[in-house]
Amino acid sequence: MNDDRLLTWLALLGSALFAWLVLGGRVPVAPASATPPADERVATVAEAIAKAEGYYARGDHDGRSLLFRLNNPGGLKNPALGAETLPTWKDTGLVLFPTAEMGWAALRHQVRLMLTGRSRVYELTDTLLLVGVKYADGDVNWGWNVAGHLGVSPDVSLGDLAPLVPAP
């Protein structure tokens, strides 16, 4: 019986000591991850692209930008996801999406391909500056603008932006 009491007393003492250390802040607790979930990361990059493309800018189309009126936040051209048969704006090649939701889905799909290395155009080693040259027909300001909206250097690579983004 004395052995049982001793074991119980040691278990209680150990539990109390552990609780005291945790509550006293003496046991290091792993910090919450600063990496946003994959879908949030894709959405954040898509939003930065939309801003760089001028989606939210005022314009000549009832006070809105052309991209806003086209429901095309990424300034995507054919063949974008699900847009192969959709009309384009005059001779620009810009896709006219039936809804803004469809345009955002196509942009997020494009971003996911970019961030997972599954794109046929972009490499994970491409910096935002190089992505801009490819994405915006040589416009070096595009990479600076996207980087500014993301709060990162324009020398950041797609691979650096990509942790935890699963392939589509």
42 and 84 in a single domain? The answer is yes
18 and 44 in a single domain? The answer is no
Mean pLDDT value across the chain:
80
117 and 94 in a single domain? The answer is yes
19 and 52 in a single domain? The answer is no
Q: How many domains does the chain have?
A: 2
* Burial class of residue 83 (count of CB atoms within 10 Å of its CB; 0-12, 13-18, 19+): buried
Question: pLDDT tens digits for 51-66?
Answer: 999 999 998 878 899 9
131 and 52 in a single domain? The answer is yes
82 and 3 in a single domain? The answer is no
For residue 1, what are the domain limits?
1-30
7 and 64 in a single domain? The answer is no
65 and 142 in a single domain? The answer is yes
pLDDT for residue 22: 41
104 and 22 in a single domain? The answer is no
Please provide residue 157's backbone torsions phi and psi, each rounded to the nearest 5 degrees.
-90, 160
63 and 116 in a single domain? The answer is yes
Which pair of structure tokens corresponds to residue 55? 């989606």
Which pair of structure tokens corresponds to residue 47? 């939003």
Instruction: Report the alpha-carbon distance of residue 162 to residue 156 in Å, rounded.
Output: 11
On whether residue 166 sits in a domain, the answer given is no
Question: pLDDT tens digits for 70-116?
Answer: 999 999 987 655 566 677 888 888 999 999 999 999 999 999 999 99
On whether residue 122 sits in a domain, the answer given is yes
